[in-house]
Amino acid sequence: MKFLKVALLFLLFPLLTGSTSAHKFYVSTTDIEYVAEKESLQIITKIFIDDIEQELRKRYDPSISLASKKETKADAELLKKNILQKLNISVNGKPVKMNYLGKEYDIETVKVYIEIEEVNSLNSIEVENKILMDIFPEQQNIIHLKTSSRRKSLILDIDNPKGLLKFN
């Protein structure tokens, strides 16, 4: 029986009501799909805009503004820099080059698109995702890896920011 599960996309409503301010949850999701015919790893990372904006403001410049008319090219560059700094991937035991393709805003989240090319086989993948962990110690970064035949997931947090998935 076909059992295709769609990658987990986090429902985003941290600030909505009834004590949400007291109980905001800190999560991001990264979907990595291995497309063998294209020899590429297609990565989409979803992060709450409020959280990453706070991080960039603390780290770089309090006037940074994301997802609004005030966002400057420099702001976008800092977002890219921060993501690429905190997300590190090794394929088959070797570090790889990540191509940052761009980003898209939804009402509360930003989707960052990254591609890793020239992956002609996938035996193992090690993902380190420390996005937002320095500002939110309770941050959890969920990783979903999908190939044509398998689905595997990791939950990375401050104690375990790195995980290895093997495919043999």
Q: Which is nearer to another protein, 55 or 126 (CB)?
A: 55
Can you tell me the distance from the alpha carbon of 8 to that of 73, in angstroms, rounded to the nearest whole number? Answer: 30
What Å distances lie between residue 92 and 7, 10, 120, 136, 151, CA to CA? Answer: 23, 28, 10, 31, 17
Site string for another protein, 79-118 (x = CB under 8 A): ----------------------xx-x--xx--x-x-x---
Residue 153 makes contact with another protein by CB under 8 A: yes
What Å distances lie between residue 38 and 94, 115, 130, 163, CA to CA? Answer: 19, 11, 28, 25
* Closest listed residue to residue 110, CA positions, set 78, 88, 134: 78
Per CB under 8 A, the segment of 67-75, 78-86, 88-96, 117-125 that binds another protein is: 67-75
* Interface residue list for another protein (CB under 8 A): 1-25, 33, 42, 44, 49, 58, 65, 67-70, 101-102, 104, 107-108, 111, 113, 115, 133-134, 137-138, 142, 153, 157-159
